Chains A and B, each alone.
Chain A
Amino acid sequence: MNKESNAYIFIYASVMVVLVAILLASANLGLSPYQEKNKQNEKMIKILGSVGIQATPADAEKIYNEHLVKEVVLNTKGEELSVYSKGKFEKGSQRAFDINLKAALKKIVKGEDGALPLFIFEAEGTQYYVIPMFGKGLWGPIYGNMALETDRNTVYGVNFAHDGETPGLGAEIANPPVEGKVVFADQFKQKKIFDEAGNFTSVKVVKGGVKSQTAVLPANGVDAISGSTLTCNGVSAMLNDNLKNYVNYFKNIK
Protein backbone atom coordinates (compact mmCIF):
# COMPACT_ATOMS: atom_id res chain seq x y z
CA MET A 1 0.00 0.00 0.00
CA ASN A 2 1.22 3.47 -0.82
CA LYS A 3 2.54 5.07 2.36
CA GLU A 4 1.37 8.53 1.38
CA SER A 5 -2.16 7.58 0.29
CA ASN A 6 -5.11 8.93 2.24
CA ALA A 7 -6.42 5.46 3.08
CA TYR A 8 -3.08 4.45 4.58
CA ILE A 9 -2.90 7.63 6.64
CA PHE A 10 -6.42 7.15 7.99
CA ILE A 11 -5.84 3.51 8.88
CA TYR A 12 -2.45 4.29 10.41
CA ALA A 13 -3.84 7.08 12.56
CA SER A 14 -6.87 5.07 13.68
CA VAL A 15 -4.90 1.98 14.63
CA MET A 16 -2.34 4.07 16.47
CA VAL A 17 -4.95 5.96 18.46
CA VAL A 18 -6.81 2.79 19.43
CA LEU A 19 -3.60 1.09 20.57
CA VAL A 20 -2.54 4.11 22.62
CA ALA A 21 -6.02 4.36 24.15
CA ILE A 22 -5.93 0.70 25.22
CA LEU A 23 -2.44 1.14 26.68
CA LEU A 24 -3.34 4.24 28.67
CA ALA A 25 -6.67 2.89 29.86
CA SER A 26 -5.09 -0.29 31.19
CA ALA A 27 -2.29 1.68 32.86
CA ASN A 28 -4.89 3.84 34.52
CA LEU A 29 -6.91 0.85 35.70
CA GLY A 30 -3.83 -0.89 37.04
CA LEU A 31 -2.48 2.11 38.92
CA SER A 32 -5.69 3.64 40.24
CA PRO A 33 -5.74 1.66 43.53
CA TYR A 34 -2.37 3.20 44.46
CA GLN A 35 -3.48 6.64 43.37
CA GLU A 36 -6.68 6.35 45.40
CA LYS A 37 -4.68 5.38 48.45
CA ASN A 38 -2.47 8.45 48.02
CA LYS A 39 -5.51 10.70 47.71
CA GLN A 40 -7.03 9.20 50.85
CA ASN A 41 -3.81 9.73 52.77
CA GLU A 42 -3.68 13.31 51.59
CA LYS A 43 -7.30 13.88 52.68
CA MET A 44 -6.47 12.49 56.12
CA ILE A 45 -3.36 14.68 56.39
CA LYS A 46 -5.40 17.76 55.42
CA ILE A 47 -8.17 16.96 57.92
CA LEU A 48 -5.63 16.33 60.68
CA GLY A 49 -3.75 19.49 59.70
CA SER A 50 -6.76 21.68 60.51
CA VAL A 51 -6.60 20.33 64.08
CA GLY A 52 -2.89 21.06 64.14
CA ILE A 53 -1.73 17.44 64.01
CA GLN A 54 1.20 16.71 61.71
CA ALA A 55 1.16 13.48 59.73
CA THR A 56 3.10 11.97 56.82
CA PRO A 57 1.68 9.73 54.10
CA ALA A 58 3.23 6.73 55.83
CA ASP A 59 1.55 7.20 59.21
CA ALA A 60 -1.55 9.23 58.22
CA GLU A 61 -4.00 6.36 58.64
CA LYS A 62 -2.62 5.36 62.05
CA ILE A 63 -2.64 8.90 63.44
CA TYR A 64 -6.07 9.54 61.96
CA ASN A 65 -7.57 6.52 63.70
CA GLU A 66 -5.77 7.37 66.93
CA HIS A 67 -7.33 10.82 67.20
CA LEU A 68 -10.71 10.12 65.64
CA VAL A 69 -13.57 10.14 68.13
CA LYS A 70 -16.25 9.63 65.51
CA GLU A 71 -17.28 10.38 61.96
CA VAL A 72 -20.84 11.67 61.70
CA VAL A 73 -23.03 11.86 58.62
CA LEU A 74 -25.84 14.36 59.12
CA ASN A 75 -28.51 16.19 57.18
CA THR A 76 -29.31 19.90 57.16
CA LYS A 77 -32.08 19.39 59.73
CA GLY A 78 -29.35 18.36 62.11
CA GLU A 79 -30.23 14.68 62.35
CA GLU A 80 -27.49 12.08 62.55
CA LEU A 81 -27.81 9.64 59.67
CA SER A 82 -24.77 7.58 60.42
CA VAL A 83 -22.14 7.43 63.13
CA TYR A 84 -18.83 5.63 62.70
CA SER A 85 -16.50 5.20 65.61
CA LYS A 86 -13.54 3.02 66.53
CA GLY A 87 -13.75 0.91 63.40
CA LYS A 88 -17.47 0.14 63.55
CA PHE A 89 -20.82 1.77 62.86
CA GLU A 90 -22.92 2.88 65.80
CA LYS A 91 -25.65 4.00 63.46
CA GLY A 92 -26.26 3.82 59.72
CA SER A 93 -23.74 2.40 57.29
CA GLN A 94 -22.00 5.33 55.58
CA ARG A 95 -18.61 6.70 56.54
CA ALA A 96 -18.31 10.47 56.53
CA PHE A 97 -14.84 10.00 55.06
CA ASP A 98 -16.27 8.42 51.89
CA ILE A 99 -18.83 11.14 51.18
CA ASN A 100 -18.53 13.08 47.95
CA LEU A 101 -19.03 16.59 49.30
CA LYS A 102 -19.48 18.14 45.87
CA ALA A 103 -22.44 15.86 45.09
CA ALA A 104 -23.96 16.42 48.54
CA LEU A 105 -23.79 20.21 48.19
CA LYS A 106 -25.30 20.04 44.71
CA LYS A 107 -28.30 18.18 46.15
CA ILE A 108 -28.77 20.82 48.83
CA VAL A 109 -28.66 23.64 46.28
CA LYS A 110 -31.40 21.82 44.35
CA GLY A 111 -33.54 21.83 47.49
CA GLU A 112 -33.07 18.17 48.42
CA ASP A 113 -31.47 17.16 51.68
CA GLY A 114 -27.93 15.91 51.42
CA ALA A 115 -25.72 13.76 53.59
CA LEU A 116 -22.95 15.90 55.07
CA PRO A 117 -19.72 14.77 56.70
CA LEU A 118 -18.48 15.90 60.10
CA PHE A 119 -15.36 14.63 61.87
CA ILE A 120 -14.86 14.77 65.61
CA PHE A 121 -11.28 14.48 66.85
CA GLU A 122 -9.63 14.48 70.19
CA ALA A 123 -6.20 16.00 70.69
CA GLU A 124 -4.61 16.53 74.09
CA GLY A 125 -7.91 16.08 75.89
CA THR A 126 -9.91 18.55 73.82
CA GLN A 127 -12.54 17.71 71.23
CA TYR A 128 -12.52 19.40 67.84
CA TYR A 129 -15.21 19.42 65.16
CA VAL A 130 -13.80 19.32 61.65
CA ILE A 131 -16.00 20.43 58.77
CA PRO A 132 -14.76 19.71 55.25
CA MET A 133 -15.63 22.39 52.72
CA PHE A 134 -15.97 22.61 48.96
CA GLY A 135 -16.60 25.66 46.80
CA LYS A 136 -15.85 27.64 43.68
CA GLY A 137 -12.73 29.75 43.27
CA LEU A 138 -11.94 31.91 40.28
CA TRP A 139 -10.56 29.25 37.91
CA GLY A 140 -11.67 26.02 39.49
CA PRO A 141 -12.74 24.27 42.66
CA ILE A 142 -11.37 25.26 46.04
CA TYR A 143 -11.66 23.14 49.16
CA GLY A 144 -10.66 23.17 52.76
CA ASN A 145 -11.20 21.91 56.28
CA MET A 146 -12.25 23.96 59.27
CA ALA A 147 -11.71 22.78 62.85
CA LEU A 148 -14.00 24.27 65.50
CA GLU A 149 -13.32 24.17 69.21
CA THR A 150 -15.58 22.41 71.70
CA ASP A 151 -17.94 25.40 71.83
CA ARG A 152 -18.66 24.75 68.14
CA ASN A 153 -18.26 28.46 67.49
CA THR A 154 -14.59 29.38 67.76
CA VAL A 155 -12.35 28.44 64.84
CA TYR A 156 -9.36 26.42 65.97
CA GLY A 157 -7.65 26.02 62.63
CA VAL A 158 -8.35 25.93 58.93
CA ASN A 159 -6.61 24.95 55.74
CA PHE A 160 -7.43 25.53 52.11
CA ALA A 161 -6.46 23.96 48.84
CA HIS A 162 -7.24 24.73 45.22
CA ASP A 163 -6.89 23.26 41.78
CA GLY A 164 -5.88 26.22 39.68
CA GLU A 165 -6.01 29.62 41.33
CA THR A 166 -3.58 32.27 40.10
CA PRO A 167 -0.08 31.66 41.50
CA GLY A 168 1.06 34.52 43.70
CA LEU A 169 -2.48 35.89 44.06
CA GLY A 170 -5.46 33.56 44.60
CA ALA A 171 -3.20 30.59 45.18
CA GLU A 172 -1.96 32.25 48.39
CA ILE A 173 -5.08 30.95 50.17
CA ALA A 174 -3.37 27.56 50.32
CA ASN A 175 -0.04 28.80 51.72
CA PRO A 176 1.17 26.38 54.37
CA PRO A 177 1.86 27.74 57.85
CA VAL A 178 5.29 29.35 58.25
CA GLU A 179 6.84 30.04 61.61
CA GLY A 180 6.90 33.74 62.48
CA LYS A 181 4.65 34.71 59.57
CA VAL A 182 0.88 35.13 59.33
CA VAL A 183 -0.36 33.29 56.25
CA PHE A 184 -3.95 33.57 55.02
CA ALA A 185 -5.22 30.52 56.91
CA ASP A 186 -3.67 31.74 60.20
CA GLN A 187 -6.03 34.72 60.25
CA PHE A 188 -9.01 32.44 60.88
CA LYS A 189 -7.76 31.26 64.25
CA GLN A 190 -10.05 32.30 67.12
CA LYS A 191 -12.63 33.83 64.78
CA LYS A 192 -16.30 33.01 65.51
CA ILE A 193 -18.88 31.58 63.13
CA PHE A 194 -21.81 32.93 65.22
CA ASP A 195 -22.31 36.58 66.22
CA GLU A 196 -22.80 37.72 69.83
CA ALA A 197 -26.57 37.14 69.64
CA GLY A 198 -25.99 33.56 68.57
CA ASN A 199 -27.03 34.01 64.93
CA PHE A 200 -25.01 32.23 62.24
CA THR A 201 -22.80 34.68 60.35
CA SER A 202 -19.99 32.50 59.03
CA VAL A 203 -16.50 33.98 58.69
CA LYS A 204 -16.25 36.54 55.92
CA VAL A 205 -13.21 37.46 53.87
CA VAL A 206 -13.32 41.25 53.71
CA LYS A 207 -11.88 43.16 50.78
CA GLY A 208 -9.86 46.16 51.96
CA GLY A 209 -9.40 44.71 55.44
CA VAL A 210 -11.66 44.18 58.44
CA LYS A 211 -10.47 47.37 60.12
CA SER A 212 -11.67 49.63 57.32
CA GLN A 213 -15.38 48.81 57.65
CA THR A 214 -18.12 48.16 60.20
CA ALA A 215 -20.51 45.76 58.43
CA VAL A 216 -18.56 42.70 59.55
CA LEU A 217 -17.47 42.43 63.17
CA PRO A 218 -13.74 41.86 63.74
CA ALA A 219 -14.59 38.50 65.32
CA ASN A 220 -16.35 37.32 62.15
CA GLY A 221 -14.03 38.64 59.45
CA VAL A 222 -10.54 38.21 58.05
CA ASP A 223 -8.56 40.35 55.58
CA ALA A 224 -8.70 39.43 51.91
CA ILE A 225 -5.58 38.98 49.80
CA SER A 226 -4.77 41.96 47.55
CA GLY A 227 -5.35 41.24 43.90
CA SER A 228 -7.46 38.15 44.39
CA THR A 229 -10.92 39.47 45.09
CA LEU A 230 -12.72 36.74 43.18
CA THR A 231 -10.87 33.90 44.87
CA CYS A 232 -11.50 35.51 48.26
CA ASN A 233 -15.19 35.96 47.45
CA GLY A 234 -15.18 32.27 46.59
CA VAL A 235 -13.68 31.46 49.98
CA SER A 236 -16.35 33.58 51.71
CA ALA A 237 -19.11 31.86 49.77
CA MET A 238 -17.61 28.43 50.44
CA LEU A 239 -17.44 29.06 54.19
CA ASN A 240 -21.01 30.29 54.27
CA ASP A 241 -22.48 27.56 52.05
CA ASN A 242 -20.79 24.75 53.90
CA LEU A 243 -20.98 25.93 57.51
CA LYS A 244 -24.67 26.90 57.38
CA ASN A 245 -25.61 23.26 56.82
CA TYR A 246 -24.24 22.36 60.25
CA VAL A 247 -26.00 25.09 62.25
CA ASN A 248 -29.04 22.97 63.07
CA TYR A 249 -26.88 20.07 64.15
CA PHE A 250 -24.83 22.26 66.46
CA LYS A 251 -27.99 23.78 67.95
CA ASN A 252 -29.48 20.32 68.51
CA ILE A 253 -26.58 19.04 70.53
CA LYS A 254 -26.18 22.17 72.62
Chain B
Amino acid sequence: MAEKKEKEALFSPKNMKLITNPLFIDNPITKQVLGICSALAVTVKLEPAIVMALSVTVVTGFGSLIISMLRNSIPNRIRIIVQLVVIAALVILVDQVLKAFSYEVSKQLSVFVGLIITNCIVMGRFEAFAMANKPWPSLLDGIGNGFGYGWILIVVALFRELFGSGTVLGVKLIPDAFYEMGYVNNGLVILPPMALFAVGIIIWIQRARNRSMIED
Protein backbone atom coordinates (compact mmCIF):
# COMPACT_ATOMS: atom_id res chain seq x y z
CA MET B 1 0.00 0.00 0.00
CA ALA B 2 2.75 2.36 1.02
CA GLU B 3 4.52 1.73 -2.25
CA LYS B 4 1.43 2.57 -4.23
CA LYS B 5 0.96 5.79 -2.36
CA GLU B 6 4.53 6.83 -3.15
CA LYS B 7 4.06 6.08 -6.83
CA GLU B 8 0.98 8.23 -7.00
CA ALA B 9 2.97 11.07 -5.56
CA LEU B 10 5.80 10.46 -8.04
CA PHE B 11 3.50 10.62 -11.02
CA SER B 12 1.15 13.29 -9.73
CA PRO B 13 -0.63 15.37 -12.39
CA LYS B 14 1.83 18.19 -11.75
CA ASN B 15 4.80 15.91 -12.36
CA MET B 16 3.24 14.33 -15.42
CA LYS B 17 2.83 17.80 -16.90
CA LEU B 18 6.63 18.11 -16.78
CA ILE B 19 6.81 15.26 -19.27
CA THR B 20 3.77 16.04 -21.42
CA ASN B 21 4.20 19.80 -21.72
CA PRO B 22 7.52 19.65 -23.60
CA LEU B 23 6.01 17.12 -26.00
CA PHE B 24 3.50 19.56 -27.41
CA ILE B 25 2.68 22.99 -26.06
CA ASP B 26 6.20 23.70 -24.76
CA ASN B 27 8.16 21.67 -27.30
CA PRO B 28 11.87 22.54 -27.35
CA ILE B 29 12.06 22.62 -31.15
CA THR B 30 8.69 23.95 -32.25
CA LYS B 31 7.96 26.30 -29.35
CA GLN B 32 11.28 27.17 -27.70
CA VAL B 33 13.10 26.92 -31.09
CA LEU B 34 16.16 25.25 -29.59
CA GLY B 35 18.32 22.51 -31.09
CA ILE B 36 17.42 23.36 -34.67
CA CYS B 37 20.93 22.69 -36.07
CA SER B 38 20.99 19.04 -35.17
CA ALA B 39 17.37 18.68 -36.25
CA LEU B 40 18.49 19.64 -39.74
CA ALA B 41 21.65 17.59 -39.76
CA VAL B 42 20.75 14.15 -38.46
CA THR B 43 17.28 13.67 -39.96
CA VAL B 44 18.20 12.40 -43.43
CA LYS B 45 17.81 8.81 -42.25
CA LEU B 46 15.59 7.46 -39.49
CA GLU B 47 18.13 5.33 -37.63
CA PRO B 48 20.59 8.10 -36.70
CA ALA B 49 17.63 10.30 -35.76
CA ILE B 50 16.37 7.69 -33.28
CA VAL B 51 19.82 7.24 -31.78
CA MET B 52 20.27 11.00 -31.57
CA ALA B 53 16.88 11.38 -29.87
CA LEU B 54 17.77 8.73 -27.30
CA SER B 55 21.24 10.22 -26.72
CA VAL B 56 19.82 13.68 -26.09
CA THR B 57 17.14 12.25 -23.79
CA VAL B 58 19.79 10.43 -21.76
CA VAL B 59 21.89 13.58 -21.49
CA THR B 60 19.02 15.92 -20.59
CA GLY B 61 17.48 13.41 -18.17
CA PHE B 62 20.57 12.39 -16.23
CA GLY B 63 22.14 15.82 -16.57
CA SER B 64 19.09 17.49 -15.02
CA LEU B 65 19.09 14.88 -12.25
CA ILE B 66 22.76 15.41 -11.42
CA ILE B 67 22.59 19.21 -11.62
CA SER B 68 19.48 19.22 -9.46
CA MET B 69 21.18 17.05 -6.81
CA LEU B 70 24.20 19.33 -6.82
CA ARG B 71 22.20 22.57 -7.06
CA ASN B 72 22.64 23.59 -3.42
CA SER B 73 26.39 23.04 -3.45
CA ILE B 74 27.21 24.68 -6.79
CA PRO B 75 28.91 28.06 -6.31
CA ASN B 76 26.88 30.61 -8.23
CA ARG B 77 29.89 32.13 -9.96
CA ILE B 78 30.95 28.93 -11.71
CA ARG B 79 27.54 27.36 -12.21
CA ILE B 80 27.70 27.50 -16.01
CA ILE B 81 31.08 25.78 -15.94
CA VAL B 82 29.77 23.08 -13.63
CA GLN B 83 26.80 22.56 -15.93
CA LEU B 84 29.09 22.30 -18.93
CA VAL B 85 31.34 19.76 -17.21
CA VAL B 86 28.34 17.59 -16.38
CA ILE B 87 27.02 17.83 -19.94
CA ALA B 88 30.43 17.17 -21.47
CA ALA B 89 31.06 14.16 -19.25
CA LEU B 90 27.67 12.64 -20.10
CA VAL B 91 28.09 13.31 -23.81
CA ILE B 92 31.54 11.70 -23.86
CA LEU B 93 30.08 8.68 -22.06
CA VAL B 94 27.27 8.42 -24.63
CA ASP B 95 29.78 8.79 -27.44
CA GLN B 96 32.01 6.06 -26.03
CA VAL B 97 29.07 3.69 -25.58
CA LEU B 98 27.89 4.34 -29.14
CA LYS B 99 31.39 3.75 -30.50
CA ALA B 100 31.51 0.44 -28.65
CA PHE B 101 28.06 -0.93 -29.41
CA SER B 102 26.68 0.96 -32.39
CA TYR B 103 29.73 1.83 -34.45
CA GLU B 104 28.02 2.39 -37.81
CA VAL B 105 25.48 4.79 -36.35
CA SER B 106 28.14 6.62 -34.38
CA LYS B 107 30.02 7.18 -37.62
CA GLN B 108 26.91 8.58 -39.29
CA LEU B 109 26.25 10.89 -36.35
CA SER B 110 29.96 11.81 -36.32
CA VAL B 111 30.36 15.26 -34.81
CA PHE B 112 26.74 15.67 -33.83
CA VAL B 113 27.04 13.49 -30.74
CA GLY B 114 29.86 15.75 -29.59
CA LEU B 115 27.73 18.74 -30.44
CA ILE B 116 25.03 17.68 -27.97
CA ILE B 117 27.33 19.57 -25.58
CA THR B 118 26.39 22.78 -27.33
CA ASN B 119 22.73 21.80 -27.83
CA CYS B 120 20.88 24.71 -26.30
CA ILE B 121 18.10 22.45 -24.99
CA VAL B 122 20.42 20.87 -22.44
CA MET B 123 21.90 24.08 -21.10
CA GLY B 124 18.52 25.76 -21.27
CA ARG B 125 16.80 23.14 -19.12
CA PHE B 126 19.63 23.04 -16.57
CA GLU B 127 19.64 26.79 -16.15
CA ALA B 128 15.87 27.25 -16.23
CA PHE B 129 14.64 24.20 -14.36
CA ALA B 130 17.21 21.86 -12.75
CA MET B 131 19.00 24.65 -10.84
CA ALA B 132 15.76 25.55 -9.05
CA ASN B 133 13.91 22.25 -8.60
CA LYS B 134 14.15 18.96 -6.75
CA PRO B 135 15.85 15.96 -8.44
CA TRP B 136 12.73 13.98 -9.36
CA PRO B 137 10.85 16.78 -11.17
CA SER B 138 14.15 17.74 -12.83
CA LEU B 139 14.64 14.21 -14.13
CA LEU B 140 11.08 14.22 -15.53
CA ASP B 141 11.58 17.63 -17.08
CA GLY B 142 14.83 16.50 -18.68
CA ILE B 143 13.29 13.33 -20.07
CA GLY B 144 10.23 15.24 -21.26
CA ASN B 145 12.34 17.75 -23.15
CA GLY B 146 14.48 14.96 -24.59
CA PHE B 147 11.34 13.21 -25.88
CA GLY B 148 9.89 16.47 -27.12
CA TYR B 149 13.05 17.02 -29.14
CA GLY B 150 13.15 13.36 -30.14
CA TRP B 151 9.70 12.93 -31.60
CA ILE B 152 10.09 15.95 -33.85
CA LEU B 153 13.41 14.51 -35.05
CA ILE B 154 11.85 11.12 -35.71
CA VAL B 155 8.83 12.50 -37.57
CA VAL B 156 11.05 14.70 -39.74
CA ALA B 157 13.48 11.82 -40.39
CA LEU B 158 10.63 9.45 -41.30
CA PHE B 159 9.30 11.96 -43.81
CA ARG B 160 12.74 12.67 -45.27
CA GLU B 161 13.86 9.07 -45.55
CA LEU B 162 10.57 7.89 -47.06
CA PHE B 163 10.33 10.57 -49.72
CA GLY B 164 14.05 11.15 -50.19
CA SER B 165 15.32 7.59 -50.40
CA GLY B 166 12.12 5.54 -50.63
CA THR B 167 13.10 3.55 -47.55
CA VAL B 168 12.31 3.42 -43.84
CA LEU B 169 15.10 2.22 -41.52
CA GLY B 170 16.89 1.02 -44.66
CA VAL B 171 13.96 -1.20 -45.74
CA LYS B 172 12.60 -0.34 -49.16
CA LEU B 173 8.97 0.67 -48.83
CA ILE B 174 8.07 2.19 -52.17
CA PRO B 175 7.54 -0.70 -54.61
CA ASP B 176 9.47 -0.97 -57.88
CA ALA B 177 6.19 -0.69 -59.81
CA PHE B 178 5.96 2.96 -58.71
CA TYR B 179 9.40 3.71 -60.10
CA GLU B 180 8.48 2.05 -63.38
CA MET B 181 5.46 4.30 -63.61
CA GLY B 182 7.74 7.29 -63.41
CA TYR B 183 7.95 8.03 -59.67
CA VAL B 184 11.32 9.47 -58.59
CA ASN B 185 12.78 9.95 -55.15
CA ASN B 186 12.75 13.63 -54.28
CA GLY B 187 16.36 14.78 -54.04
CA LEU B 188 15.31 18.06 -52.42
CA VAL B 189 14.01 16.21 -49.37
CA ILE B 190 17.53 14.92 -48.65
CA LEU B 191 18.90 18.47 -48.51
CA PRO B 192 18.90 20.40 -45.20
CA PRO B 193 16.36 23.08 -46.27
CA MET B 194 13.63 20.44 -46.45
CA ALA B 195 14.10 19.71 -42.75
CA LEU B 196 13.32 23.36 -42.08
CA PHE B 197 10.16 23.11 -44.19
CA ALA B 198 9.14 19.95 -42.34
CA VAL B 199 9.71 21.55 -38.93
CA GLY B 200 7.85 24.62 -40.17
CA ILE B 201 4.86 22.53 -41.20
CA ILE B 202 4.80 20.84 -37.78
CA ILE B 203 4.89 24.27 -36.10
CA TRP B 204 2.07 25.44 -38.38
CA ILE B 205 -0.13 22.42 -37.57
CA GLN B 206 0.54 22.77 -33.84
CA ARG B 207 -0.30 26.45 -33.75
CA ALA B 208 -3.35 26.07 -35.95
CA ARG B 209 -4.74 23.52 -33.50
CA ASN B 210 -3.65 25.26 -30.32
CA ARG B 211 -4.12 29.01 -30.39
CA SER B 212 -2.39 29.49 -27.03
CA MET B 213 0.98 28.70 -28.67
CA ILE B 214 0.83 31.79 -30.86
CA GLU B 215 2.98 34.63 -29.54
CA ASP B 216 1.60 38.15 -29.66
Contacts and interface: CB of A to CB of B under 8 A. Distances in A.
Contacts of B89: 20, 23-24
Range of interface residues on chain B? 10 to 19
Contact of B99 (A13, A16, A23, A31): A31
A35 B100 contact: yes
B32 interface: no
A57 B85 CA distance: 34
A180 to B, nearest CB: 13
Contacts of B175: none
Interface in B82-99: 82, 85, 89, 92-93, 96-97, 99
A46 B96 CA distance: 22
B97 A31 contact: yes
Interface of B: 73-78, 81-82, 85, 89, 92-93, 96-97, 99-101, 103-104
B77 A9 contact: yes
Nearest to A24: B92
Q: Most chain-A CB neighbours within 10 Å: which of B74, B93, B100?
A: B100
A38 B103 contact: yes
Interface residues of A, number: 20
Interface of A: 3-4, 8-9, 12-13, 16-17, 20, 23-24, 27-28, 31, 34-35, 38, 41-42, 57
A60 to B, nearest CB: 11
A12 B82 CA distance: 9
Contacts of B99: 31, 35, 38
Given A24-B89, A34-B101, A12 B78 contact: yes
